[in-house]
Each structure stands twice: as structure tokens, then as C-alpha cells.
């Protein structure tokens, strides 16, 4: 019996960034498979609405770091599925609030259950302590200043492949 090949083979795996990129791609694909009728971005929107209540569309996109065009199409998808609704903001009739519907809450509950099962399967080789440590480290990176600032700096630059502050010459 041959040993399974690592997702990131050889010395490519010496770089944590390369490991995170590949593992992120794999987890994204697996999560998309686990969420029938939803995409990961739909899940994120529904969870944000459940956590924060009705939210202006632009603020929701900024909070989730989803570009406006993708946010519009994602909200269209969620509205068509009956999971979210855009309603006029009673405090400012010029803007819309997005709110989760009962159907959205039901879909979200199912998605959370399936994502929990995916976590259990994907991280089965880790001890409970290692899983907690991994989650703590990833949460720290997500909520820190370095990676969010780097992403925000390049997000709106079409075709940008160079991290902000990079001193390397462009090819």
C-alpha cells in the first residue's frame, strides 16, 4: 500500500503560506460541496445577518470584505432562494437594509451543522488541543492587523500580484 501524497509536496511545504493557500483551496472546495444550495459567500452573509441583525448592503459587503458586484449577485441569489430580503431602511429611505428570513435561518442552521461535520472530518487527525490551537492561531491572524491590512490594500487593485510595501521589482 502506498502512502498518500501530501497536498503540498516536497520543500514547497516548507513555506507556511504555501500550506495555507493549498489547504484553503481544499477546504473551500469541500465546504462548497457540503452546502447544497449555498455557496460559502452565501453562508458568510447569512451568518453575518444572524449575528448582527438587519444591515445596510454596503456595510455588509465592507464587513465581510465582499466586493459590491459580488455582494449584489449573492444577495440576488439569497433573495431568490427566500433566505434574505432587502427592505427600506426606516431611518433613511434612500438605502436598503438586508435581513435574514426564517428560511435563511433554517438554511443557516443546516449549514452550520454540515460545516461542523466537515471540521470533524477534515481535522480528525488533530487532537482536541491541536484543533483549538489551530483555531486560535488562525483567528489571531484573521483579526490581527497585518493580513487584513495587506488584503485591504490590494483588494481594489485589479490584477495586483504584488503585496503592499514589497520592494521587489515588477517582472
pLDDT in tens, 8-24: 999 999 999 999 999 99
DSSP 8-state symbol, 56: E
- Mean pLDDT across 138-143: 95
**pLDDT over 90 at 146, yes or no:** yes
Among residues 136, 82, 134, which one has the least CA distance to residue 108?
82
Biggest CA-to-CA distance, the chain: 66
Task: State the chain's mean pLDDT as an integer.
Answer: 91
pLDDT above 70 as % of the chain: 90
> Burial level of 131, CB count in 10 A (0-12/13-18/19+)?
middle
Using an 8 Å Cβ cutoff, are 45 and 100 in contact?
no
What is the fold, at CATH topology level, of the domain defined by 38-117? Arc Repressor Mutant, subunit A (1.10.10)
Stretch 113-126: mean pLDDT:
98
Which residue, 48, 27, 42, is CA-closest to 138?
27
Structural domain spans, the chain: 38-117
Contact yes or no for 94/74 (Cβ under 8 A): no
Beta bridge pairs of residue 55: 98
pLDDT of residue 4: 87
Helices (H) and strands (E) in the chain, counts: 7, 3
By three-state DSSP, how is residue 51 classified? helix
Amino acid at each position: 500500500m502506498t502512502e498518500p501524497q501530501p497536498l503540498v509536496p516536497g520543500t514547497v511545504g516548507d513555506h507556511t503560506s504555501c500550506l495555507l493557500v493549498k489547504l484553503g483551496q481544499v477546504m473551500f472546495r469541500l465546504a462548497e460541496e457540503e452546502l447544497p444550495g449555498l455557496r460559502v459567500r452565501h453562508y458568510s452573509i447569512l451568518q453575518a445577518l444572524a449575528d448582527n441583525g438587519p444591515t445596510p448592503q454596503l456595510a455588509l459587503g465592507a464587513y465581510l470584505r465582499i466586493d459590491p458586484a459580488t455582494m449584489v449577485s449573492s444577495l440576488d441569489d439569497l433573495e431568490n432562494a427566500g433566505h434574505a430580503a432587502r427592505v427600506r431602511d426606516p431611518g433613511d429611505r434612500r438605502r436598503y437594509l438586508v435581513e435574514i428570513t426564517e428560511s435563511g435561518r433554517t438554511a443557516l442552521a443546516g449549514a452550520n451543522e454540515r460545516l461542523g461535520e466537515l471540521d470533524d472530518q477534515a481535522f480528525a487527525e488533530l487532537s482536541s488541543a491541536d484543533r483549538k490551537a489551530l483555531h486560535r492561531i488562525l483567528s489571531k491572524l484573521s483579526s490581527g492587523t497585518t493580513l487584513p491590512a495587506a488584503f485591504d490594500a490590494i483588494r481594489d487593485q485589479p490584477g495586483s500580484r504584488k503585496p503592499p510595501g514589497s520592494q521587489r521589482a515588477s517582472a
